[in-house]
């Protein structure tokens, strides 16, 4: 019998340890957690060798948890305060990355579902890398505020784009070609159903949360809501991650101030969930696949970068944002970490379930490897942008 408790302890413990080490090297802890998973996984020690269903269960729970937390950040007040040009920049950089990756991966592979899936990974950015630079160099100014707003808010849109795209890709893989069902009906049912489910669950949860006082109760009810939403999404075959995002958004927007402690309480228990999640991503890293992913990896890195830079610039110019923002904002959005890996892990389990495990492994391995690249390049690009804008303070 597999000793899951021992394995869980090993996974979280080693993940934290190596994550602490990568933090010291100024690389996000996410990379450390993934390395821990890789070491424990079949490619090195072989200690952790879980069945697909076990990985899927933990992944689905973690992603539902993550999406709930991200949704909790997306308050309407915050979005209204950002103004037209920030919202346009978010739209520009996410869609720019999506379309650049889509077009060039398709040109290289001539494989439409593959191009759509890789493109769906591209929009997500990671706030931690940008925040680290801003914090360390005491950056302050209009560009600094804009970068924080963009990297903090674009994950919600990235998840929506993913949910829509994966439904299209799934339809194409199932039918083997274009059809009204695969291109429009299925994605609309998948995303629309998820949004309705999240809205309904969020409304119910918001009213319950409002009456709770003790933090322990709040955490217990939050986990109940997350598990029920994820379970129902699976049962109804709609996007689990989008349903959870919509649930978090609803909870935070129905009673914004009253329900703020819900997300504070949930964040307290978030670190071990995140560590376990990324360790599982590391388990699925395959060096053999990595070697084969070289060309797609390079295309992905180049096209995601140019798409984000170009999309952000075009949107900023179109909305007459200040030149200092238009010229530099794209550089602050290159970081990639948690959400992209989460989406890749979700895509890989969904693809494996549909009978395409090799494509799933390729997606996960490529996104994980490119995350390392973006986590090194992204913060440097942010530093350069802030330096060029003259917003760096003293170290």
Q: Which residues bind another protein (CB under 8 A)?
A: 20, 23, 28-30, 66, 69-70, 72-73, 126-128, 131-132, 134-136, 138, 140, 148, 151-152, 155, 212-215, 257, 260-261, 267, 270-271, 274, 337-339, 393
CB of 353 to another protein, least distance (A): 24
> Of 117 and 212, which has the nearer Cβ to another protein?
212
Q: How far apart are CA 21 and CA 30, in angstroms?
A: 11
Would you tell me how many other CB atoms lie within 10 Å of the CB of residue 245? 31
> Of 84 and 260, which has the nearer Cβ to another protein?
260
93 contact partners, CB below 8 Å, separation of at least 6: 123, 125, 150, 154, 307, 308, 311, 312, 315, 329, 330, 333
CB of 63 to another protein, least distance (A): 10
> Of 41 and 127, which has the nearer Cβ to another protein?
127
CB of 120 to another protein, least distance (A): 18
In the block, tokens 């990756």 appear at: 101
CB of 17 to another protein, least distance (A): 13
> Of 3 and 395, which has the nearer Cβ to another protein?
395
Instruction: Find, among 315, 353, 304, 308, the residue nearest to 331 by Cα.
Output: 308
CB of 391 to another protein, least distance (A): 13
Q: How far apart are CA 276 and CA 255, in angstroms?
A: 31
Q: How far apart are CA 343 and CA 125, in angstroms?
A: 12
Interior angle at CA 306, CA 356 and CA 330, nearest 5: 115
> Of 37 and 113, which has the nearer Cβ to another protein?
37
Tokens of 98: 């999506």
104 contact partners, CB below 8 Å, separation of at least 6: 299, 302, 303
CB of 5 to another protein, least distance (A): 23
CB of 380 to another protein, least distance (A): 18
> Of 215 and 320, which has the nearer Cβ to another protein?
215
Q: How far apart are CA 119 and CA 111, in angstroms?
A: 12
> Of 73 and 111, which has the nearer Cβ to another protein?
73
Tokens of 158: 């990235």
């Amino acid at each position: 019998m597999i000793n899951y408790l021992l394995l869980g302890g090993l996974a979280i413990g080693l993940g934290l340890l190596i994550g602490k080490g990568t933090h010291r090297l100024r690389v996000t802890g996410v990379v450390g957690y993934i390395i821990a998973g890789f070491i424990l996984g079949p490619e090195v020690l072989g200690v952790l060798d879980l069945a697909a269903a076990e990985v899927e269960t933990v992944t689905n729970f973690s992603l539902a948890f993550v999406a709930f937390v991200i949704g909790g950040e997306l308050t309407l007040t915050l979005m209204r305060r950002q103004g037209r040009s920030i919202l346009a920049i978010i739209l520009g950089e996410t869609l720019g990355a999506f379309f650049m990756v889509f077009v060039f991966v398709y040109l290289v592979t001539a494989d439409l579902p593959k191009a759509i899936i890789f493109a769906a990974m591209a929009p997500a950015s990671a706030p931690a890398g940008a925040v680290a630079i801003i914090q360390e160099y005491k950056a302050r100014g209009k560009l600094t505020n804009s970068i924080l707003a963009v990297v903090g808010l674009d994950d919600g849109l990235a998840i929506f784009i993913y949910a829509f795209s994966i439904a299209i890709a799934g339809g194409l893989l199932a039918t083997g070609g274009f059809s009204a069902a695969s291109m429009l009906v299925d994605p609309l049912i998948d995303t629309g159903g998820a949004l309705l489910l999240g809205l309904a669950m969020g409304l119910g949860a918001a009213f319950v949360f409002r009456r709770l006082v003790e933090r322990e109760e709040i955490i217990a009810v939050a986990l109940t809501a997350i598990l029920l939403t994820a379970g129902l999404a699976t049962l109804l075959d709609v996007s689990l991650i989008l349903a959870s995002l919509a649930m978090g958004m609803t909870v935070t927007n129905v009673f914004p101030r009253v329900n703020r402690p819900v997300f504070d309480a949930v964040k307290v228990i978030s670190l071990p969930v995140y560590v376990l999640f990324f360790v599982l991503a590391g388990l699925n890293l395959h060096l053999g696949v990595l070697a084969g992913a070289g060309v797609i990896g390079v295309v992905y890195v180049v096209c995601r970068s140019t798409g984000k830079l170009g999309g952000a610039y075009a949107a900023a110019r179109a909305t007459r944002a200040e030149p200092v923002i238009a010229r530099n904002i794209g550089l602050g959005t290159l970081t990639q970490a948690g959400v992209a890996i989460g989406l890749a892990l979700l895509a890989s389990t969904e693809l494996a379930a549909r009978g395409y495990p090799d494509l799933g492994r390729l997606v996960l391995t490529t996104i994980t490897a490119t995350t390392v690249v973006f986590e090194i390049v992204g913060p440097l690009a942010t530093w350069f942008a802030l330096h060029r804008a003259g917003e760096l303070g003293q170290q």
